[in-house]
Amino acid sequence: MSFLTLAAAGCAPQGGQGGDGRTISYWLWDANQLPAYQACAKAFQRENPGLRVDISQVGWESYWTKLTSSFIAGTQPDVFTNRVNMLPQFVKLGVLAPLDELGPTRSLRDADYQPGLARSWTGRDGHRYGAPKDWDTVAVFYNKEHTRAAGISDRELNSLDWNPRDGGSFEKTVARLTVDANGRRGDEPGFDKDRVVRYGMAAQDPGTYDGQTQWSPFTGSTGWKYTDKELWGEHYNFDSETFQSTLDWYYGLAEKGYMAPFETYSESNHPETQMGAGKAVLTVNGSWMLSTFAGLEGVDLGIAPTPVGPSGERASMMGGLADSVTRASPRKRAAAEWVAFLASDQCQKLVGRDATVFPATPAGTRAAVAEHRRNGLDVTPFTRHIEEGTTFSFPVTDHAADIEAIMKPVLQDIYAGTAPVGRLTETNRQINYLFAHDG
C-alpha cells in the first residue's frame, strides 16, 4: 500500500489524536489536484498564522481502505475528501461531524454552490456532512481526424439523438465510425463485426450500479429514476422496462460490433488508451478526464454533448466531491476553518485556474472555463448541463457496498453477452430485499 505524503507546510502529517493542536491533516486521492490545494493551504496559512495544513495524498486504489482503517485505529485525518456514495456508510458509523454545528461552516448554504450540488450531502437527520469542492458531468470525447474521415461534422456530433428502438442518429454515427479489417464501415454492406480494427465507441469498465460514464446519460434521458426518492431512496428501479430496454440497446452496440467488446477493456486499456492508439473514435466520459484526453498525443480532440433522448432532453449525472470533518478530530474548530476556506471563492478560483476539475462555486467554475478557453478547449458540453438544468443526482442510499457487489457482476455478464437484461429483475429484487430487512 503506497502512501505518498506531500506536506503543504513542510512538516510531518498529523492525524487522529496526535499532532500539536495547530496542524490540520487533510487527505485526498487525486495527485493531479495536489498543486492547487497546496496553493490553497498556503493562502489559508497566510490568513491564519496560528494554523498549518498538511496534505496527504493516498492513491485511489487504497484510499477508502486506509481511511476506514484510520477510523478504527483513531488515526483519522481532521478533514478528508469524501465521495457521495460513501456518505450513508460514514453517517451510519457516526464518524462525520455535522458541519452545520461547527461555527466556521455553519453559514454554508446550498445557494453558495452550483444548483443541486449541496443537496446530496445532507443526511437523513437534516445535517450537512460535506462542503462541496467540485462537480462533474459527462460528455462525448471524440477524435476529429476519424470523424472527418467518416464524413461526420462537428455540428452533427453536437446534435445527436438516440432511442432504444433503433439508436437514433447516435447509433448511426457510431456505426459509421466503426471500420473492419477490410475497410468497410459499420453502416456498409459486408461489414464484418468480428474483425473490427477501429470501433466507433471505446470499451468501458461495465461500472457499478450508477453507470455514470456508461449508460447513465441514456437512462437519464428517458426520465427513468434510480430509486423511489431523489435522496435516501429505499427501492431501486432496475426492474423497469425502460431501464432494461435502454441497457439492452446500449450493450447491443457491442453485439453489433460498433462498441468494443467487454474483453477489450482492462486496467491498462482504458477508453483514453484506446482512442490514443486509434482503436476507438469516441467515448462517453467525465469532465475530470479533460486534461487526460486533451493530452493524448496525435489526437485532434473534440467534445460533444450527450445525445438527446426520448424525454426530449439531454441528461448527465452530476457528481462531485466534498470535504468532510471527522467527528473524532481534536481540532474540529480549526478543521472547520479549513473547510470553510476550501469552500471560499478565494480557494475555488485557485482550483479553477488549475483547470483539473470544475470547482463547486460559480466563481470557481468560471475560472476553470476561462482557463480551458485559454488552452483552446471548449468545455460547454459539460457546463451546459448546469445551465440547462439537465443534471440528476447520484443515487444516495444505504447499502451502497452491497448493491455494488450484487450489481457489478450482472452488468459484466450483460456486456459480455452471457446474460439477458431480464436478469436485472431478479437482481433488483435482491437489492430491494436489503431495504426490506433493515433494522
Is the predicted pLDDT of residue 154 greater than 90, yes or no?
yes
Number of domains within the chain? 2
Give 3 or 226, the one with higher predicted confidence: 226
Tell me: do 354 and 284 sit in the same domain.
no
Beta bridge partners, 141, equal 283, 303
Which tens digit of pLDDT belongs to each residue from 253-288? 999 999 999 999 998 999 999 999 999 999 999 999
* CA–CA dist 322, 83 (Å, integer): 7
Which tens digit of pLDDT belongs to each residue from 116-146? 999 999 999 999 999 999 999 999 999 999 9
Is the predicted pLDDT of residue 33 greater than 90, yes or no?
yes
Amino acid 57: pLDDT: 97
Tell me: do 39 and 106 sit in the same domain.
yes
Please say whether the beta carbons of 319 and 136 come within 8 A. yes
Beta bridge partners, 185, equal 179
Query: How crowded is residue 165: how many other Cβ atoms within 10 Å of its Cβ?
Result: 10
Amino acid 1: pLDDT: 30
Handedness of CA 148, 150, 151, 157 (dihedral sign): negative
Confidence band, pLDDT 50/70/90 cuts, at residue 439: low
Please say whether the beta carbons of 385 and 318 come within 8 A. yes
Amino acid 14: pLDDT: 40
Does residue 391 fall inside a structural domain? no
Tell me: do 126 and 272 sit in the same domain.
no
* CA–CA dist 55, 59 (Å, integer): 13
Which tens digit of pLDDT belongs to each residue from 55-70? 999 999 999 999 999 9
Does residue 389 fall inside a structural domain? no
Identify the domain containing residue 378 by its residue range.
3-135+320-383
Q: How many percent of the chain have pLDDT more than 90?
A: 92
Tell me: do 144 and 266 sit in the same domain.
yes
Does residue 168 fall inside a structural domain? yes
Tell me: do 118 and 64 sit in the same domain.
yes
What would the mean pLDDT of 351-373 be, rounded to a whole number?
97
Pairing of β 52-58 and β 23-28: parallel
Tell me: do 103 and 39 sit in the same domain.
yes
Which tens digit of pLDDT belongs to each residue from 306-315? 999 999 999 9
Q: What is the phi-psi region of residue 238: left when phi exceeds 0, alpha when psi lies from -120 to 50, beta otherwise?
A: alpha
What would the mean pLDDT of 400-429 be, rounded to a whole number?
97
Q: How many percent of the chain have pLDDT more than 70?
A: 95
Average pLDDT, the chain: 94
What would the mean pLDDT of 363-384 be, rounded to a whole number?
97
Provide DSSP, 233-244: -S-B-TT-HHHH
Which tens digit of pLDDT belongs to each residue from 67-120? 999 999 999 999 999 999 999 999 999 999 999 999 999 999 999 999 999 999
Is the predicted pLDDT of residue 343 greater than 70, yes or no?
yes
* CA–CA dist 210, 205 (Å, integer): 12
Does residue 199 fall inside a structural domain? yes
Tell me: do 143 and 286 sit in the same domain.
yes
DSSP 8-state assignment for residue 54: E
Confidence band, pLDDT 50/70/90 cuts, at residue 207: confident
Is the predicted pLDDT of residue 205 greater than 60, yes or no?
yes
Element (H, E) at 281: strand 280-286
Confidence band, pLDDT 50/70/90 cuts, at residue 3: very low
Tell me: do 311 and 340 sit in the same domain.
no
Give 371 or 17, the one with higher predicted confidence: 371
Grid cell at residue 352: 479553477
Does residue 237 fall inside a structural domain? yes
Please say whether the beta carbons of 2 and 31 come within 8 A. no
Q: Which residue has the cell 468494443?
A: 260
Residue 381 CB partners (closer than 8 Å, separation 6+): 139, 140, 158, 303, 304, 305, 306
Tell me: do 34 and 183 sit in the same domain.
no
What would the mean pLDDT of 250-254 be, rounded to a whole number?
98
- Indicate the SS3 state at residue 261: coil
* CA–CA dist 281, 192 (Å, integer): 18
Which tens digit of pLDDT belongs to each residue from 172-186? 999 999 999 999 999
Domain containing 36 — which CATH number? 3.40.190.10
Amino acid 19: pLDDT: 54
- Indicate the SS3 state at residue 372: helix
* C-alpha closest to that of 210 among 171, 181, 236: 236
Tell me: do 210 and 236 sit in the same domain.
yes
Tell me: do 161 and 245 sit in the same domain.
yes
Is the predicted pLDDT of residue 4 greater than 50, yes or no?
no
Does residue 388 fall inside a structural domain? no
Confidence band, pLDDT 50/70/90 cuts, at residue 2: very low
The C-alpha angle 279, 280, 283, rounded to 5 degrees, equals 150
Phi–psi pair at 371, nearest 5 degrees: -65, -40
Tell me: do 308 and 327 sit in the same domain.
no
- Indicate the SS3 state at residue 275: helix
Does residue 115 fall inside a structural domain? yes
